[in-house]
Amino acid sequence: MIATLASVTLRGLLNRRRTLLLALFGVLIVIIAALSRLSDPSDADALEFTGRLLADFGLAVLLPLVAVIVGTAAIGSELEDGTIIYLLAKPIPRATIVAVKLVVAWLLVAALVAPAVLLAGLVGTSGQADLGVANAVAIAVAGLEYTAVFLALSLLTSRALVVGLAYVVIWEGVIGGLFEGTRIISIRQHALAIADALGGEGAVTAELAAGSALIVGGVITALALVIAVRRLERVELRGETG
């Protein structure tokens, strides 16, 4: 039952052209890292540039972009085209549906972003694994939080993609930069804190301690899950006509 749910979810996500386009963004970060080597920088410069590339493009743009598109589609696309009815017409606890779809979406997000970031880290620093590994792990961990939040969002609004993008750009991009206090509930800052703690060798600077990032991140993920399950239990399907 779970395997079927997971495979239908995964096929649904992979069937969207949008998801496949996201893989191209991963290629882009690797290309940028490779191009940075052309100017033959010193090791310190290369580390600094790659550190900034992974943080400012990998963690700040690539991860939330992929997570918002995949996360809001995991249940949202079926809600939108009405095929969710075939899933809801089954005697499956709604919590199981949310959990399986979250895990599938999360693994897909991690698979689309983490390897590209790892590779970009290797290419940009000519083979030093630490920076790439730290960021890839941070992406995998924070990816769960992002995916959970965007999945819950797709059950709260039919404009989840727009709202999600607005959250990433306005809250994490602008407000997080202006007001330090908001950083504790910024998923991007959670990711940075994890990358920093895993040994970004000074190339990653985080404002938060990894411990508090993990705790707050865990709470937000759990909260998103609870909201998603409650909403899915109460989803109303009207049909097209009266």
Partner 1 sequence: MSTLALRGVSRWYGNVVAVNDVSFEVGAGITGLLGPNGAGKTTLLHMMAGFLAPSAGEVRLDHSPTWRRPAIYRLVGFVPEREAVHPFLNGRQFVLASARLQGLDDAEGAAERAIEMVDLRESAGRAIGGYSKGMRQRIKVAAALVHDPPVLILDEPFNGMDPRQRLHMMDLLRRMAAEGRTILFSSHILEEVERLSDRVLVVVAGRLAASGDFRRIRRLMTDRPHRFTVRSSDDRALARELLEHAEVEAVELRDGTLTVRTGDYGALTRAIAPAARRAGASLLELRPADESLESVFSYLVRR
Nearest-angstrom CA–CA distance, 99 and 110: 16
Q: Residue 5 or residue 224: which is nearer to partner 1 going by CB?
A: 5
Q: Closest approach of Cβ 82 to partner 1, in Å?
A: 4
Q: Closest CB to partner 1 among 45 and 233?
A: 233
Q: Residue numbers of the site for partner 1 (CB under 8 A)?
A: 1, 3-5, 8, 11-12, 15, 81-83, 85-94, 233-234, 236-242
- CA-CA-CA-CA torsion sign (148, 159, 188, 113): positive
- Cα–Cα–Cα angle for 134, 137, 138, nearest 5°? 85
Report in angstroms how near the CB of residue 229 gets to partner 1 at its nearest: 12
Between the alpha carbon of residue 121 and those of residues 22, 159, 160, 239, the distances in Å are 19, 35, 32, 49
Q: How far is the CB of 14 from partner 1 (least distance, A)?
A: 8
What's the min distance (Å) between Cβ of 78 and partner 1? Answer: 8
- Alpha carbons 80 and 62: distance in angstroms, whole number: 25
Cα dist from 126 to 43, 77, 242, whole Å: 9, 41, 63
In the complex with partner 1, the residue whose CB is nearer, 65 or 104, is 104
122 membership: H or E segment, kind and range: helix 94-124
Kindly provide the b/e burial profile for residues 30-41, where b requires at least 16 CB atoms within 10 angstroms of the residue's own CB.
bebbeebeeeeb
Smaller CB separation from partner 1, 19 or 50: 19
Shortest distance in whole angstroms from residue 62 CB to partner 1: 26
Nearer to partner 1, 29 or 228 (CB): 228
Q: How far is the CB of 95 from partner 1 (least distance, A)?
A: 10
Cβ–Cβ < 8 Å for 121, 33: yes
Residue with tokens 């007001």: 179
Q: Which is nearer to partner 1, 85 or 223 (CB)?
A: 85
